């Protein structure tokens, strides 16, 4: 297989995996909140946030370093994988003890402590699995990894729904990812069985090497974890578990749209990288057109979340205890505009060799996010008795800072006025989709969104939201020499 075909296959499999994972996660979101209620969903969200932060102490940033080192020298894979597994086994046990102790020190009740302990255990198992997944990525066997990941997500969805149908306790549902991680770990190990040359024993020098190699990646991961996971913890202490549940559900619903910018940016990164080296003027034109395309893809999601949040919750039969998540979803409907733009601008910065800007801006965002979030929660809890509104408002403030800082470094390449104009015209084109959503009474009725999408695209052409010549850019992507996409820009999801 040629390198060109291999890389193209890897990109395609990654995109398919992302779409399938998003859809399956959305399916689970249809049933889980209604079963556990707002307080239970808040407990799940809190436990997941704490586990995500503690994961830094297990992974130590080694995953990216492991991929890089194996890609450079396949013969070293066996020793490196063994060393990484040994390190994570030790750090995992230590972090598990820290997680249990923290759940007591933070004053949570018995049920929440149990959820936190299980979530941390599941995270440790996932970190072990991640070593094997990283090894497959190092060998550029992305389709094998993607296939195992899809099996993992399907099994996760089936087991979760089965436990809900059997009305099992919440802690069992929280433990499902641990079971699926064990299954996918077995699949990863099976795929690696002929690739790892390991002579037995643990090489302490390699273990030290992996820890040191992961430190640069750990630094940015710490910033991202603080920025992305602090909201739920602050809400649990300053507001209520119900508020965590409202916030968590709104984020899950809004997050289902994030596969759009990730897929577009991953596909366009190689083209932008090539144009930046060969034709700067064409690069700048391409950036403007990609922004237009992404904003057009975004607008139906924004319109439905802002104009029909109540219909979304009623359509999927969420209990009325989640009604207070509606204003949170309305604000998130506006915030995802910033998420999308951040994704695009991050891709542009990567294509133009300015990754350091992303690290610096993300670090500052992490530093300001906690005090801004705490203040916003305090204000909204006192004035509106809903701390979740303050949490999502702080997301908007921090994302606005990040996007502004990114755009400043692009020296006017992306016009804010042009973006607003495209959003307004696309918003008008999306109104029939909102009307159809209002008329829909069952989830099956959402199938009407398929022809409605065609109407939306037609109106976008009529309202000149996008240029017909964008088709040429799409053809360019299809005919280019593909390259592996870089990591996407940081978002709260």
- For the chain, the average pLDDT equals 81
Tell me the CA distances in angstroms from 200 to 79, 81, 197, 207, 315, one per residue in order. Answer: 8, 12, 9, 14, 56
Distance CA 291, CA 326 (A): 28
Q: What is the pLDDT of residues 370-413, one digit of tens each?
A: 999 999 999 999 999 999 999 999 989 998 998 898 888 888 78
Question: What are the respective helix, strand and coil percentages of the chain, to the nearest 5?
Answer: 85, 0, 15
C-beta separation of 426 from 297 below 8 A: no
- CA 78, 81, 87, 89 torsion: positive or negative? negative
Residue 353 in this model has a pLDDT that exceeds 80: no
375: helix, strand or coil: helix
C-beta separation of 300 from 456 below 8 A: yes
Q: State the DSSP code for 320.
A: G
Residue 3 in this model has a pLDDT that exceeds 70: no
> DSSP secondary structure string, 357-372?
HHHHHHHHHHHHHHHH
More confident residue, 227 or 335: 335
Share of the chain above pLDDT 90, in %: 25
- Within 13 A of 384's CA, how many CA atoms are on the CB side? 17
End-to-end CA distance of the chain: 36
Backbone angles phi, psi at 152, to 5 degrees: -55, -50
C-beta separation of 216 from 292 below 8 A: no
pLDDT of residue 9: 56
Angle 396-217-66 from CA coordinates, rounded to 5°? 135
The pLDDT confidence band at residue 481, using thresholds 50, 70 and 90, is: very low
C-beta separation of 128 from 89 below 8 A: yes
Residue 107 in this model has a pLDDT that exceeds 60: yes
C-beta separation of 272 from 283 below 8 A: yes
- What lies within 8 Å, CB to CB, of 255 at 6+ separation is 493
Distance CA 149, CA 18 (A): 9
Q: Taking residues 2-7, report their average pLDDT.
A: 49
Q: What is the pLDDT of residues 424-441, one digit of tens each?
A: 999 999 999 899 888 887
Residue 11 in this model has a pLDDT that exceeds 80: no
C-beta separation of 287 from 347 below 8 A: no
- What number of other Cβ atoms are within 10 A of residue 212's Cβ? 12
Alpha helices in 256-325 (DSSP H): 259-278, 280-307, 309-315
Residue 270 in this model has a pLDDT that exceeds 70: no
pLDDT of residue 71: 73
> DSSP secondary structure string, 379-439?
HHHHHHS-HHHHHHHHHHHHHHHHHHHHHHHTTTSS-HHHHHHHHHHHHHHHHHHHHHHHH
Q: Taking residues 223-251, report their average pLDDT.
A: 87
Nearest to 29 by CA among 241, 248, 179, 180: 248
The pLDDT confidence band at residue 201, using thresholds 50, 70 and 90, is: low
- What lies within 8 Å, CB to CB, of 373 at 6+ separation is 230, 231, 234, 390, 391, 394
Residue 141 in this model has a pLDDT that exceeds 60: yes
Structure tokens at 9: 């296959």
Give the largest Cα separation in the chain, rounded: 67
pLDDT of residue 306: 92
Q: State the DSSP code for 139.
A: T
- What lies within 8 Å, CB to CB, of 290 at 6+ separation is 264, 265, 268, 272, 344, 473
C-beta separation of 296 from 466 below 8 A: yes
C-beta separation of 210 from 83 below 8 A: yes
pLDDT of residue 482: 38
Distance CA 177, CA 122 (A): 6
pLDDT of residue 480: 43
Q: What is the pLDDT of residues 165-179, one digit of tens each?
A: 999 999 999 999 999
Structure tokens at 208: 């030290």
More confident residue, 400 or 23: 400
Backbone angles phi, psi at 484, to 5 degrees: -65, 135
pLDDT of residue 375: 95
pLDDT of residue 175: 93
pLDDT of residue 75: 79
Residue 491 in this model has a pLDDT that exceeds 70: no
- The number of angstroms, rounded, from the C-alpha of 477 to the middle of its chain's C-alpha atoms is 24
Q: What is the pLDDT of residues 271-325, one digit of tens each?
A: 676 778 788 888 888 788 778 888 888 889 899 999 999 888 888 888 888 999 9
354: helix, strand or coil: coil
Q: Taking residues 152-158, report their average pLDDT.
A: 89
Residue 268 in this model has a pLDDT that exceeds 50: yes
Q: What is the pLDDT of residues 44-84, one digit of tens each?
A: 999 998 998 898 888 888 887 787 788 777 777 788 888 88
- What number of other Cβ atoms are within 10 A of residue 180's Cβ? 24
Distance CA 199, CA 202 (A): 9
Q: Taking residues 158-187, report their average pLDDT.
A: 92
Structure tokens at 42: 């808040």
pLDDT of residue 13: 62
């Amino acid at each position: 297989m040629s390198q060109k075909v291999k890389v193209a296959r890897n990109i395609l499999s990654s995109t398919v995996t992302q779409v399938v994972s998003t859809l399956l996660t959305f399916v689970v979101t249809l049933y889980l909140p209604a079963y556990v209620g707002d307080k239970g969903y808040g407990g799940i969200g809190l436990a997941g946030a704490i586990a995500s932060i503690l994961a830094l102490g297990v992974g130590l940033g080694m995953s990216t370093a492991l991929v890089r080192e194996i890609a450079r020298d396949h013969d070293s894979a066996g020793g490196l994988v063994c060393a990484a597994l040994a390190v994570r086994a030790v750090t995992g046990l230590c972090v598990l003890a820290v997680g249990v102790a923290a759940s007591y020190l933070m004053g949570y009740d018995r049920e929440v402590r149990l959820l936190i302990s299980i979530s941390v255990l599941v995270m440790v198992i996932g970190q072990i699995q991640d070593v094997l997944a990283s090894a497959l990525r190092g060998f550029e066997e992305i389709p094998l990894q993607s296939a195992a990941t899809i099996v993992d997500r399907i099994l996760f969805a089936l087991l979760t729904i089965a436990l809900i149908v059997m009305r099992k306790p919440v802690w069992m549902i929280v433990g499902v990812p641990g079971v699926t991680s064990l299954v996918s770990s077995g699949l990863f190990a099976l795929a690696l069985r002929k690739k790892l040359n390991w002579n037995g024993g643990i090489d302490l020098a390699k273990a030290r090497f992996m820890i040191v190699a992961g430190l640069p990646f750990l630094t940015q991961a710490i910033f991202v974890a603080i920025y992305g996971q602090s909201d739920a913890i602050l809400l649990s202490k300053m507001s209520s578990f119900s508020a965590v549940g409202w916030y968590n559900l709104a984020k899950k619903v809004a997050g289902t749209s994030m596969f759009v910018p990730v897929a577009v940016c991953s596909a366009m990164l190689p083209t932008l990288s090539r144009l930046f080296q060969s034709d700067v003027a064409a690069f700048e034109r391409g950036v403007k057109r990609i922004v237009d395309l992404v904003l057009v893809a975004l607008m139906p999601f924004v319109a439905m979340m802002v104009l029909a949040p109540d219909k979304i919750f009623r359509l999927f039969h969420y209990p009325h205890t989640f009604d207070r998540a509606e204003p949170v979803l309305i604000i998130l409907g506006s915030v995802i505009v910033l998420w999308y733009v951040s994704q695009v601008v991050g891709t542009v910065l990567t294509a133009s060799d300015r990754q350091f800007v992303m690290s610096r801006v993300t670090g500052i965002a992490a530093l300001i996010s906690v005090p801004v979030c705490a203040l916003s929660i305090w204000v909204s809890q006192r004035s509106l008795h809903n701390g979740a509104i303050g949490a999502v408002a702080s997301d908007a403030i921090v994302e606005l800072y990040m996007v502004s800082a990114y755009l400043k470094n692009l020296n006017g390449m992306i016009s804010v006025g042009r973006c607003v104009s495209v959003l307004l015209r696309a918003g008008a084109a999306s109104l029939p989709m909102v009307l159809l959503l209002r008329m829909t009474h069952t989830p099956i009725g959402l199938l009407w969104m398929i022809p409605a999408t065609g109407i939306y695209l037609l109106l976008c052409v009529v309202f000149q939201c996008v240029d017909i010549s964008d088709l040429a850019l799409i053809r360019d992507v299809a005919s280019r020499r593909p390259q592996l996409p870089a990591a996407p820009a940081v978002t709260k999801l």
